[in-house]
A = this chain, B = another copy of it.
């Protein structure tokens, strides 16, 4: 534990980011061996003395339990998942492992606060490319307060949620030799269908960057999105469950897609993972399927399927014409 802490400090020095860590964080790190997550792409951020999640070196993720009811709802959800025996194991694996709750020193220095102790989904990756996609054209549930409904109603219309059935809430893509490309979160959640198509291709390209003019190579498309263990197969497994499950309605919940370019380049299997995160607005399904989440999930699936289909077209063409890029301009998206 001690040695991994020194390795962490050493690494932070090397990355040149140590100077950005304020005294309060250093104090917290020294006291708890907890740190601000390296690869958080959405949600509250514990940097700059604010309240946010922390991680440790053993693969755990500590999420502050919000006091406005949302926190207790999320705790209730994780406990429910454990108690429902009729959730199959191949579905359970989509939820982060729940290790209970714990009082720990909050990241904003406000003293000991209750935290959810969860699996740190990205702890097994060194340089993960991550996309956080909030599913559903509607992020509010019918039992919510009128104020909250109106706030969400406006946001769903302003962002891509209403039009596409989902919005990208966070994103980081490893960019060869230049760390990570992390586009502005305010911008990505308003992406048009065309921009979503582009970023989903950037996500699986070895030459992705902020420059949208680059001819994307889509090197990892078939390994990461395709195949029996790829992201599409995992999303389809989830879809199958959502077509029947009437236990929960997952409002404002996200699908997280994670993989690592270096690992894919070395191995045949992508190691790409799909997880469900953020359950502060989950309500009981009362015998009705979650048609809102299912619709949005199917929309995301269709975007990814199209990219794979186009990729097949291009692979087939490659044997004749050897095109070096993946423009997708000839893809017929209407069927």
Q: Give A contacts to B, CB under 8 Å.
A: 84, 86, 137-138, 142, 153, 157, 162-165, 193-194, 243-247, 285-289, 291-292, 294-296, 298-299, 301-302, 305, 333-335
Contacts and interface: CB of A to CB of B under 8 A. Distances in A.
A287 B246 contact: no
A292 B138 CA distance: 10
A128 to B, nearest CB: 28
A223 B190 CA distance: 48
Nearest to A149: B157
Given A246-B333, A335-B246, A291 B286 contact: no
A157 to B, nearest CB: 7
A164 B164 CA distance: 20
A286 B193 contact: yes
A162 B143 CA distance: 11
Contact of A142 (B163, B194, B243, B286): B163
A163 B287 CA distance: 11
Contacts of A245: 334-335
Given A246-B334, A334-B246, A193 B299 contact: no
A285 B333 CA distance: 10
A163 B334 contact: no
Nearest to A196: B288
| Chain multiplicity (copies) | 2
A99 to B, nearest CB: 26
Contact of A299 (B137, B163, B289, B296): B289
Contact of A193 (B157, B163, B288): B288
A255 to B, nearest CB: 14
B289 A298 contact: yes
12 contacts: A163-B288, A245-B334, A246-B333, A246-B335, A247-B334, A287-B333, A287-B334, A289-B299, A292-B295, A294-B295, A294-B298, A295-B296
A292 B291 CA distance: 8
Contacts of A243: 298, 301-302
A49 to B, nearest CB: 40
**9 shortest interchain CB distances as A-B pairs:** A295-B295, A291-B295, A165-B291, A291-B299, A287-B333, A289-B302, A294-B295, A289-B299, A247-B334
A86 B142 contact: no
A291 B137 contact: yes
A86 B335 contact: yes
Contacts of A193: 286-288
A333 to B, nearest CB: 4
Given A245-B334, A288-B299, A291-B298, 16 more contacts: A86-B335, A137-B291, A137-B292, A138-B138, A142-B157, A153-B153, A163-B288, A164-B291, A193-B288, A244-B335, A245-B335, A246-B302, A289-B298, A291-B295, A291-B299, A295-B295
Contacts of A162: 142
